[in-house]
Structure formats: structure tokens, C-alpha cells
Structure 1
Amino acid sequence: MSALTSSTATPRLRVGFVLARRFTLSAFANFVDMLRLAADEGDRSRPIHCSWRVLSVTPEPVRSSCGIAVTPDEALGDPERFDYIVIVGGLIDEIEHLAPEYAAFLHRAAAARVPLVGVCTGAFILHRAGLMQGYRCCVSWFHHDDFLEQFEGILPVSDQIYVVDRDRLTCSGGASSAHLAAFLIDRHMGRAVAQKSLHIMIIDEAMAADDPQPGLPLELKTHDPLVRRALLILQQSMDAPPGVGAVAERLGVSRRKLERHFAAALGISPAEAFLRVRLSQVRLLLARSTRTIGEIALQTGFCDASHLIRVFRQQMGVTPDTWRNSLGDVLPE
């Protein structure tokens, strides 16, 4: 097919983006770059097989949470000119400031049976617009409690990277938006095109929707702000985990007070909770990487491979290698 014929062909995948105020740039960029790489041969970026447009009520640039602004391409208009409408959220505090014209546009898209995609906190925006009743939706583990606070009686999915429920697709944001985009590219253009795009972005392979999100184990979810801050401190220092006393000192409370909060919120001690977080990260690295046990031990704060093996066997009943092999190891050598 000639370049002229290609450039005038109807794209097989047409996506319209709505960016919330202070949206997450990485989530948007990962999604767009997957489309860009799928749209042409190689990485020449011609929008032949895919097209994408940023839609807005006004022509004013939309500023992301990191400060970089994106200029819209066109007005909202008719949603039926797209195969998907993707709304990219960001900071929680900005969700309620979305102009009412966007909600009306999303309702028009839903009425026309144009699938709606919520990226990052885009799921919050779709729920707030009344467009997620009866649908499952994915939110980041980091925003799990925020979602419960805003939407009573709705349990979000926070242990998968994305969820596809009929004509509603939602993902946790960040790198997961590339995998959701890969799913759409696979659906419309084939697996080979999706894999090519992932490989150019230095992503080994597409993750399935039910692959787990990295983050806190769901049994450690809590509304207690002190406990949440303590767990966040641990996550930020995984390779050199601070002791319970050091965490309490950083939080400006006594060790005893921190222990009381953990007991009330989670029914376990801070030390046990911290160990669960580290072992959760160990399991994630075992499942998703070819790192050695020694390398994983160093990344998760264990003294060495033998220390990790001993603790892992005590908690899981098997060694890390046995656990990894039980997954049906398909990781590259």
C-alpha cells in the first residue's frame, strides 16, 4: 500500500481523549505512545492505522499534575466519530472541578454506545457522572480508600491493572495505561502490532487484565491515617526497611501508640504488617522478573538469599524458587 493510500485510509482505531485538570501525564503519554507506535510501520508516528485527538470545551491548554500543559486539538463535538472516549484523571481534589459540558459529552457517548475508558482517576470521573452503575471498575490501590469514601456501596477492583466490563474499561494509571492500550490495539489491529508497540517502549510483553497491581496487599487496606502513613514510609524504603521504632519516631508518635493503631485497624502488629508488605513485593518480583533470589532479597530488605529463603518458607510453606516454578514459569531466560 502506498503512503498516499495509507494516509487516506480510515484508521482502524480512533480514540478521543478528555483530560481532567491536573491529569497524570505519564498515564496519558503511555496510552498515546502505544497508539502512535501502532499507527504506522516502525516508529515514524504517522497516524495511519490509528488516530487520536485531545478534546476540550475550550482551546486553552490543560495543565497536568506535573505542570506540563497539553493543547487540545478540537472541540468535544460528536462522540460517534471515535471508537473509544478516554478520560484521563489525575489529582483527586480536581475531579469535582470538571466542567459540566464534559459529563454531558460522556453521556452522549454512552447513549451512542461508544465505549468509555477511565484512566487513573478517570474511573472516579465516570462514576461521578453516573456512568458506572452496574459495572466493575479498576482503581489504583493507592486510591482504593479515596474511592470508597466518595462512592458508598461500590467496591472497586484494586488488585488488577485494568478491568474490561463490556463497554467500560478502566485502569489504575501509570504503566497500566500502556497495557490497556495494548489490549485495544490487539482487539482492533492484532497481537503482532500490539507486541511491536510494547517492544519499542521496552516492555517485554502485554500484561493481562487480572495481573496484580504492585502495592499494598488488600488485607492491609485501612482508613486509619496513621497506619496508612506508616505503610507508605515502608514502601518508600523497601530496600532498607526502617524498624517499627524508627517509623514511629518519623511519625512523631510513640511505638506503643503505633502498635495500638495497627492492632485496631488491621488486627496485627506493625512488624507483621511490614513483613507482609515486603513479602508481597517479593512475590511480585518472583512472578514478573528473572531476578535471582539474592537480587530480590537486596531489593526487599533481607540480608541475603538464605535469609529471604528462610523467612519465605516460614510464611509461605515453600521456597521462593518452588513458588516461582509453581506459576508455570514462562519468563524469558
Structure 2
Amino acid sequence: MKSVKDESKYGALKVGFILARSFTLSAFALFVDTLRLASDEADKSGRVLADWHVLGSTRHLITSSCGVQVAPTSDFIDPREFHYIVVVGGLLKPDITIDNQTSEYIRKAAGQKIPLIGICTGTFILARLGLMKTHQTCVSWLHYQVYREQFPDNPVRSDRLFNLDRSRGSCAGGSSAADMAAFLVRRHISIDAERNALEVLQIERARSGLDIQPRKPLAIQCQDSRLKAVLITMESHIENVVPTEDLAASVGLSRRQLERLFMEEMKASPGAIYTRIRMERAKHLVLQTQAPLIEIAIEVGFGSASHFARLFRRVFGQSPTELRRAHA
């Protein structure tokens, strides 16, 4: 298989798609349409600079999470026919989302060193196959806790839009699927092809893998992208509180620099904001569950129910028991 270092020399960028049951239609459509529009001029849709197939163990229709069905366009041909194989996930259901033949095909592709990309919860599929253990995985903030619970030894983050770590890629899903596809187009075809695709899609610019997911914990407003990343990390680590030094290091700052940024933009220290996020999570659990207070205290990072209750009263003006009783 020829190198794709310079795709203009060796023909079309070739991508194989594997769609899980209940896959996210928007993520798949944005990814494949970015390839389509980058492959030709304007919106002619010729497969000149890129080509793709939806792969399947059968030709049965695959139903997306919204009910729209897509038919595979190819059987499982040699993985070396593709430069990337993209696995598109969707709803996290307890039942199997791909069959055994599909699993074996993905493993075969990995064995042949074909880069694999998980879109949306497609990363869960790759992780279940043991293919993400040594690769940094990017998931949506919505799925971060579930991923950590299912794959506690796998490195994961929920603040970035997408990531390409050696032979594995991962993408939070939604509109960021277009960003990741644009990244591949720019790398393997050209900047002009990327620009053409984005302009036709009415996307002003492609976001990079360093851009932050558009998530505002507790609707906290801030402009600095590093603060947004720290806030998402705080929200993702409620039980195991991350030290301020580590939060700062994760965005390339010293502790003092991070504290200065927090005071400038939010008029509060990182610790105070972290406590607020944890207490809001506790309030949600008090109102929406019947869990014992000690369990809630542990879930939001407190070893003592009494300490938790005192802080809760200080923040909300009443104890967890009083709040739960008032809203019963």
C-alpha cells in the first residue's frame, strides 16, 4: 500500500466506514460530506480526490439513532484498500452494536496497521476490542464518566473536540466530525480542498484538535479556552478531585497563572469554582435520587457526610435532608 504522506501523488484518499447499530446520523453525514465536497470542485460530488465505502458483514440496512437507515455499499474488502477506517457509534445500549464478523474485521485492520478512528461512541467499540489501551481517547463530556467506568485503564479526556494519536483517532461526535474530516483532508489532499468543503457546508472555519468542546459547566461564562478546558476537567472529576497544580499543568500553566486567570475572569479561585461544581452535582443527586447522603458525599469527593452536609448548608442555605424534604 502506498504511503499517504503526499496524497496528491497517489490518488484518492480512501476511507471505509463501519456504522454501529443506532449510530449517530449527523456525525456520519458531516464526516462523509466533508470528504465528498473536498473530493471535487464546488459541489459536483465527483470522487476525484477522495473515495469511501460503508462496509458491512451483510447488505442489510443499518438503522441510525434517529431511525433513518443506511445501506452498506461494500463487503469487508482488504483493509489495506483504505487509508483510514472510521467506526461511527451512537446510542450506548447494553446490547451488541456490531457483530462478531465486524469485530474481527476491525481487529484485522488494526493488525495491518491501518489507522482506526472512533466517531462519537465508536471509541467505545474500539476500546471494547482492546485497541485504545495505549492511545489517548477523546470522548464527549456526555460520555466521559461512562467511558472511565468501563475502561478505567484507558487514557481519556473530554475537553477536546478530536484527537489523532498515532494509529488511532477519536472524535467527540456531532459537528466535530466535520472538523476531524477537514483535518484529514488538509493533511492528505490540500488546504484548497478543505476550504471548498467547509464553504459549501457553511462552516466558517475548521476547528483544530486543540479547540475546546462547547460545554459550559453550570453555565459559567469565560472566554479563555484554557479555563474552559479546566472547567470541563473539574466537571469530569467530581469524585476524585484533581489538585490545582495538575489542573494548571494540563493547560500549560503554573498554579499561580491559573489562579490569576480565574480571578480575572470569574472573580473566584479555582478551588471555589471546583467546590461550586461539586455542590451543584450534589444538589442534583439530592433532588433526583433517593441515594443516602453518605453515598452522595462520596460521589462528589467527600469522605465525611457531616463535612459534606455543613458545606451544603453553607452553599444552599439548608441541609441536604431539608432540601430533599421540601421538594418531595
Q: Which TM class, normalised by the smaller chain length?
A: 0.5 to 0.7
Post-superposition CA distance 1:89-125 (Å, at most 9, x none): 0111157342111121111111211111110011110
| 1:265 correspondence with 2:300 | yes
State the TM-score, normalizing by the size of structure 2: 0.67
Q: Contact 1:10 / 1:49 at 8 angstroms: preserved in 2?
A: no
Q: Contact 2:135 / 2:154 at 8 angstroms: preserved in 1?
A: no
Quick one: structure 1 residues 112 and 272, their matched pair in 2 at CA, closer, same or farther if it must change by over 3 Å?
farther
Query: Which moves more between the two structures, 63-72 or 147-156?
Result: 147-156
Aligned residue-pair number? 242
SS in 2 for 1:16: strand
State the TM-score, normalizing by the size of structure 1: 0.66
| 1:218 correspondence with 2:253 | no
Post-superposition CA distance 1:4-59 (Å, at most 9, x none): xxxxx974200000000000001100101100100111111111111111000011
Q: Contact 1:19 / 1:87 at 8 angstroms: preserved in 2?
A: yes
The one-letter code of the counterpart of 1:13 is: L
Quick one: structure 1 residues 95 and 252, their matched pair in 2 at CA, closer, same or farther if it must change by over 3 Å?
closer
Q: Contact 1:95 / 1:125 at 8 angstroms: preserved in 2?
A: no
Residue 221 of structure 1: how far off its partner (Å): 2.6
Quick one: structure 1 residues 214 and 49, their matched pair in 2 at CA, closer, same or farther if it must change by over 3 Å?
same
The one-letter code of the counterpart of 1:41 is: E
Query: Where do residues 288-303 of structure 1 align in structure 2 (5 Å cutoff)?
Result: none
Distance 2:156 2:170 in 1: 10
Residue matched to 1:17: 17
Unaligned runs of 5+ in 2: 1-8, 218-231, 240-279, 303-310, 317-328
Quick one: structure 1 residues 269 and 180, their matched pair in 2 at CA, closer, same or farther if it must change by over 3 Å?
farther
SS in 1 for 2:21: coil
Residue matched to 2:28: 28
Quick one: structure 1 residues 223 and 94, their matched pair in 2 at CA, closer, same or farther if it must change by over 3 Å?
farther
Post-superposition CA distance 1:118-165 (Å, at most 9, x none): 100111101111111211111111000010111122231111001111
Q: Contact 1:138 / 1:162 at 8 angstroms: preserved in 2?
A: yes
Distance 1:28 1:67 in 2: 14
Query: Where do residues 1-333 of structure 1 align in structure 2 (5 Å cutoff)?
Result: 11-93=11-93, 96-215=96-215, 216=217, 217-221=232-236, 251=287, 261=296, 265=300
Quick one: structure 1 residues 248 and 189, their matched pair in 2 at CA, closer, same or farther if it must change by over 3 Å?
closer
Unaligned runs of 5+ in 1: 1-8, 225-243, 274-333
Residue 218 of structure 1: how far off its partner (Å): 2.1
Residue 190 of structure 1: how far off its partner (Å): 1.3
Post-superposition CA distance 1:240-279 (Å, at most 9, x none): xxxx8xx87994679xx99x94796167769979xxxxxx
Residue 191 of structure 1: how far off its partner (Å): 1.5
Post-superposition CA distance 1:60-111 (Å, at most 9, x none): 0000000000011011121111111000001111573421111211111112
Distance 2:138 2:72 in 1: 26
SS in 2 for 1:164: strand
Quick one: structure 1 residues 15 and 43, their matched pair in 2 at CA, closer, same or farther if it must change by over 3 Å?
same
Distance 2:111 2:299 in 1: 46
Distance 2:284 2:74 in 1: 52
Distance 2:110 2:195 in 1: 30
The one-letter code of the counterpart of 1:265 is: V
Distance 2:172 2:42 in 1: 28
Query: Which moves more between the two structures, 148-157 or 261-270?
Result: 261-270
Residue 220 of structure 1: how far off its partner (Å): 1.9
Quick one: structure 1 residues 221 and 10, their matched pair in 2 at CA, closer, same or farther if it must change by over 3 Å?
closer
What is the RMSD computed on CA atoms of the aligned residues? 3.0
Q: Contact 2:238 / 2:299 at 8 angstroms: preserved in 1?
A: no
The one-letter code of the counterpart of 1:219 is: M
Distance 2:235 2:183 in 1: 30
Distance 2:13 2:88 in 1: 18
The one-letter code of the counterpart of 2:31 is: F
Distance 2:298 2:100 in 1: 44
The one-letter code of the counterpart of 1:61 is: L
